[in-house]
Amino acid sequence: MSLLSQPVFRFAPSPNGHLHLGHALSALLNFDAAQDSGGRFLIRIEDIDTVRCTSALVRDALEDLAWLGLTWEEPVRRQSEHFADYAAALLRLEEMGLVYRAFLTRSEIRDFVARVETGGRAYPRDPDGAPLYPGDEAVLSADEIAARDAAGESFALRLDMKKALARIGKPLFWMEEGSGPQGETGRLPADPSVWGDVVIARKDTPTSYHLSVTVDDALQGITHVMRGRDLFQATSVHRLLQEVLGLPEPCYHHHRLLLDHDGRKLSKSARDTSLRDLRRQGCSAQDIRRLVGLA
């Protein structure tokens, strides 16, 4: 197989806790797909939250993955070592006039939404259930916005969704090789507008999940993004950023999630399913494969 057509897969955990069975499923699916297709397998550590993603947790995550039997290309990309790459992409978005400073705090947004809803109107929410950003002008006067700016108050940098969509000026799609929550598969329409003005960066962090994942998938030449179905809807935002920034389009494969006894997605706090604990209890890597349904 020529290098050009060689598929490139990645497993991209955010180690703000120990890896659990849900991570094992995703990592093994990516690793197996790379092996089966003669492709490459990369690990990327998504640790832009440098407070919660400690070096000890990163070290433990890599140790767990090695114990599972995975091998990967070195060096592992740690996002915390590449803020300059995301800042460069952010600057391009700013130069296109697609990013603005958003000063409303969470509680100001919450109060605004409550006021609208007591008036009997439903307030629009994104696929994760968070209210869409109302815009500073909905709550603050022009003087108040200018005063916050002048005082150096903290802000989020948000993508002006309407402007970004207008700039693209054509419908967006992505290739889904797995399936969405409703069984969606094949060439699917992307609808980033359901997210409103997403956060692209913050005053003290020149990136966000959406920006760094999009930049890195392109920089690392990822051809196949295989990840949990909880990120299915986020793909619309990633497709938009790819188009605006002129980045290549990978294909996507969203996979099933492992649920806990109450039907919720496994979380890092679900200590009973952490790979460390299972290993301490005597599980083998082969047992983990069986536990996640990949015997």
**Residues lying near ligand GLU in the complex (CB under 6 A):** 12-14, 46, 213, 227, 231
13 vs 178, beta carbon nearer ligand GLU: 13
14 vs 103, beta carbon nearer ligand GLU: 14
CB of 13 to ligand GLU, least distance (A): 5
Per-residue three-class SS string for 110-144: HHHHHHHHHCCCCCCECCCCCECCCCHHHCCCHHH
Instruction: From residue 68, give the alpha-carbon distance in Å to each of 12, 256, 289.
Output: 16, 20, 9
46 vs 136, beta carbon nearer ligand GLU: 46
Contact 118, 96 (CB under 8 A): no
**How many separate helices (H) and strands (E) can be counted in the chain?**
10, 10
12 vs 65, beta carbon nearer ligand GLU: 12
Treating both helix axes as pointing N-terminal to C-terminal, what angle do 161-168 and 235-245 enclose, rounded to 10 degrees?
60
Q: Is the dihedral of CA 23, 29, 35, 41 positive or negative?
A: negative
CB of 268 to ligand GLU, least distance (A): 9
* 35: Cα separation from own chain's centroid: 24
116 vs 231, beta carbon nearer ligand GLU: 231
Instruction: From residue 129, give the alpha-carbon distance in Å to each of 123, 125, 234, 281.
Output: 11, 5, 13, 37
**What is the Cα–Cα distance from 25 to 59, expressed in whole angstroms?**
19
37 vs 220, beta carbon nearer ligand GLU: 220
CB of 227 to ligand GLU, least distance (A): 4
Instruction: Name the DSSP letter for residue 292.
Output: T
CB of 231 to ligand GLU, least distance (A): 5
CB of 63 to ligand GLU, least distance (A): 17
CB of 11 to ligand GLU, least distance (A): 8
